Amino acid sequence: MKSLEGKVAIVTGGGRDIGRAVSVELAEHGAKVVVNYFNSKEEGAATLAAIKDAGGEATAIPGDMTKQQDVDALVAKAVETYGDKIDILVNVVGGLVARKTIAEADADWFEFVLRLNLTTTFMTTKAVVPHMGEGGSIVNFASQAGRDGGGPGAWAYACSKGAVQTLTRGLSKELGPSGIRVNCVCPGMIATTFHDTFTKDEVRANVAAATPLRREGMAGEVADLVAYLASPESSFVTGTSVDINGGTYFS
């Protein structure tokens, strides 16, 4: 079903894992996808290849979304490539950076975590909104950590993701009169390199065993939810933070 036929979408952090799955899913629904990736040309190329293998249309653009000039360059390239109308923005960029206690953390590190997860969402959204009109959809990425405070050493990440939920609510009110919807998703334990890097195998196994569905989630399942929030099927849904965690946490 080509529910996004003729739409133009930007996906930040589209080089791997959930970002790649979202990019491919939107393309399979008919969108022309601008895939942003950070420091791996190979990952960006792999996402582009997956989209083209699925019969979709896309372009891959490198950029560090913590830098305003890279954000502006991404949006300018999207407009140059597909015209001055961006219909969908998915802000996937973010990360835990490191697990630290408050005693181990300093202000520079804390501010970088906020910039990576919250400020990037603000900057990219601000740059895209002038090119977005009636029917536009913005999908932000929060986390279950933003609901429950996160695991050990993840309090700064949890703080930033909780702020993304609040930003989503506020922008949904501001942009709603223009016909633009703003929502976010709150993934729980999803099988990605995020947890390969930051979560011990035994912790992952314990979380999966305690999850009502008895498993981790998959990136493609998150992408399915994003595609719904980006599509006309969710036309009266805005300001929401949608949990996707297999039942580990009920908001």
pLDDT tens for the chain, 251 residues long, are 589 999 999 999 999 999 999 999 999 999 999 999 998 889 999 999 999 998 999 999 999 999 999 999 999 999 999 999 999 999 999 999 999 999 999 999 999 999 999 999 999 999 999 999 999 999 999 999 999 999 999 999 999 999 999 999 999 999 999 999 999 999 998 988 766 776 778 888 888 888 999 998 999 999 999 999 999 999 999 999 999 999 999 98
Instruction: Go through the domains of the chain in sequence order and give each one's CATH number.
Output: 8-94+121-152+161-189+219-244 (3.40.50.720)
Smallest CA-to-CA distance from 142 within 9, 233, 18 is with: 18
Question: How far is the C-alpha of 62 from the C-alpha of 14, rounded, in Å?
Answer: 10
Sheet hosting strand 181-187, strand order edge to edge: 57-62, 32-37, 8-12, 88-91, 137-141, 181-187, 241-244
d(CA 9, CA 3): 13
- Give the separation between CA 67 and CA 88, rounded to whole angstroms: 21
DSSP 135: T
- Residues identified as active-site: 157
DSSP 131: G
Instruction: Please give the pLDDT value at position 109.
Output: 98
**Residue 198: per-residue pLDDT:** 64
CA 74 to chain centre: 16
